[in-house]
Amino acid sequence: MAEIVAAALTAHAPLITGKPDVSRPEQRDRLYAGFHELRRRLAAARPDLLVMFVNDHLQNFAYDNLPAFCVGLAGSYEAPSPGGAGLMRLTPRTLRGHPEWAMALLEAGLAAGIDFAYSHDIESWDEMSVPLSFLLPEATIPVVTVYTNCAAPPLPLPRRCLEVGAFVGEFVRGRAAPPRVALIATGGLSHWVGTPETGRINPDWDHWALDHIARGDVAPLARLTWEEIERDGGNGGQEIRNWIALLGAVPGWKGEVLAYEPVAEWITGCATVWVHP
Amino acid sequence: MIVISYALNKLLTAIARQHQMKERLTEEDMAGHALSDAERTALSAGDIGRLYELGANPYLIRRVFRRRFPI
């Protein structure tokens, strides 16, 4: 049976690649070093498939159709899409999907009572493209995406994200192939985007979350309410759902925080975390 | 209770998907959209705080009215 050979949590703020020059060099260098170390470890784990827990920023799902959880069945992804590329200053490139594996996940989820939506055509923005520009510089490994609504409330409960992640983890381990699977969740940590508090970062909340992840103590994160996250982590902090889903897939695993930087110029508390047994 | 204005978000989504940034919206931008008077006033003024209160999604506010933000 397949095994989960690597797991990582990362920030995906578009300005990480879009405006590296405006940040303080020492902060940027420490965060980039965290991404580079994740890349080294991920490559050493030799995965055959990347499963990504990510969220839309209303480029795919607008207010006419808003799935809580959506499996990407795309055969390929433009990462980023040409429209999203400007802000991230990344050259669009094509990443392979794995529609057969994704379809099997979708069918198994629905059969088990996980009411995934699905999409054959995903526009990829920073949620995939920024972290993968570091972690997958050569588009050698296929990617499957699980999108969770983190940006257009009302949102699914963090507890439910943990359950969905647990299902994905069991599904991965229950398949014969591909044999070596890596999980990556992106987003967060605290940031306020487009609200009256835009630019605020809350390092105390970020450290609270990272400390729990370091201990493998995910239950307090899964108990968070939308209101608590909105207050302490901001509307951008709602993306912690992606991280919680990943942690649900690897019960008992702990996080090693490779970098954490509250980067004011990127209006985001940015982290890179290696998750291990 | 989360406040959502579908009319605001529909309009802002359409503008955001054209990758346009605005200081304020014109009557032409808003034509054909079922907006309240308060929504029209806020869009015409580029009043990002008021748009948030009225139920515009903050990611869309940020994308369309990016230049209104000090950071």
pLDDT per residue as tens digits for the range A18-61? 999 999 999 999 999 999 999 999 999 999 999 999 999 999 99
Judged against a pLDDT cut of 90, whether residue A94 lies above it is answered with yes
Lookup: tokens for A142: 């296929």
CB atoms within 10 A of CB A153: 16
Query: Is the confidence at residue B20, as pLDDT, over 90?
Result: no
Question: What is the arithmetic mean of pLDDT over A84-91?
Answer: 91
- Reply yes or no on whether the pLDDT at B1 is more than 90: no
Which amino acid is located at A238 in the chain?
A: Q
Asked whether A77 and A122 are in contact (CB, 8 A), the reply is yes
Rg (CA), chain B: 11
User: Is pTM beyond 0.90 here?
Assistant: yes
Q: Is A146 a residue whose pLDDT tops 90? A: yes
Give the H/E segment covering residue B11. Answer: helix B6-17
Across the interface, do B57 and A193 touch by the CB < 8 Å criterion? no
Interfacial residues of A (vs B; Cβ cutoff 8 Å): 57-59, 62-64, 83, 86, 151-154, 193-196, 198-199, 235, 264-265, 267
The predicted structure's pLDDT at residue A14: 96
Mean pLDDT of A131-138: 97
Q: Give yes or no for a contact between A169 and A244, defined as CB atoms under 8 angstroms apart.
A: no
Instruction: Give the integer Cα–Cα distance in Å for A193 and B57.
Output: 10
Residues of B in contact with A194 (CB under 8 A): 48, 52, 57-63, 69
Q: The tokens of A186 are what?
A: 């992106």
Instruction: Note the pLDDT tens digit of each residue in A170-202.
Output: 999 999 999 999 999 999 999 999 999 999 999
B46: DSSP letter: T
Model confidence at A84, pLDDT cuts 50, 70, 90, reads confident
Asked if B59's CB is within 8 angstroms of A63's CB, the reply is no
ipTM score over 0.90, yes or no: yes
Q: What pLDDT is attached to residue A108?
A: 98
